Amino acid sequence: MSLRKFRNFYPKVDKTAYVDETAAVIGDVEIGRDSSIWPMCSVRGDVNLIRIGERTNIQDGSVIHVTHRYADNPDGYATHIGNDVTVGHKVILHGCTVEDMCLIGMGSTLLDGSVVHSRVLLGAGSLVPEGKELEGGYLWLGRPAKRMRELTEQELKWFEYSARHYVKLKDDYLG
């Protein structure tokens, strides 16, 4: 795996997590228990921090970054990703928060200060603009993302299933 120091920060990866050897994880990044970072991902915590919870999977080609601190925004924008989150292929998460048990569809983009609350299904290719909050329990879709409908019981169960599936898959890779 490619873990790289930036200034005084070295990534902290739980011993049960998987980081593919083609992924780059740089700087002030923490990756929790049973999480996985798949091929060609960039997780760059150079000018602010990135925290990834437990049983969360970041799929191929995704980019996770942050916004630096500056006069008009002294905290900048860190990126926080909760537990049991599935982040699809080629997603961009930039200075945002994704709470627990969410699925972020392939090719979606989340911008600075946006918040995706627990139990959101964000459809593929969606855009979450700066500062927008997505209420949990719904399918959101579009550019910009709009609330479409309540999630079904089957869709709500999918969050846990997807997280468990990726824990098993990363264990197969580590095996």
The one-character DSSP state at 143 is: T
Kindly list the domain boundaries of the chain, sorted by start residue.
Answer: 2-174
Residue-wise pLDDT for 44-82, tens only, equals 999 999 999 999 999 999 999 999 999 999 999 999 999
| Cβ atoms of residues 42 and 60 within 8 Å | no
CATH architecture group of domain 2-174: 3 Solenoid (2.160)
pLDDT above 90: residue 1: no
pLDDT above 90: residue 104: yes
Q: What is the mean pLDDT of residues 100-128?
A: 98
| 160 Rama sector, left if φ>0, alpha if ψ -120 to 50, beta otherwise | alpha
Helix, strand, or coil (residue 45): strand
pLDDT of residue 174: 95
Confirm whether pTM is higher than 0.95. Answer: yes
Residue-wise pLDDT for 118-151, tens only, equals 999 999 999 999 999 999 999 999 999 999 999 9
Which positions ≥6 away from 119 have C-beta within 8 Å? 100, 101, 102, 136, 137, 151, 156, 159
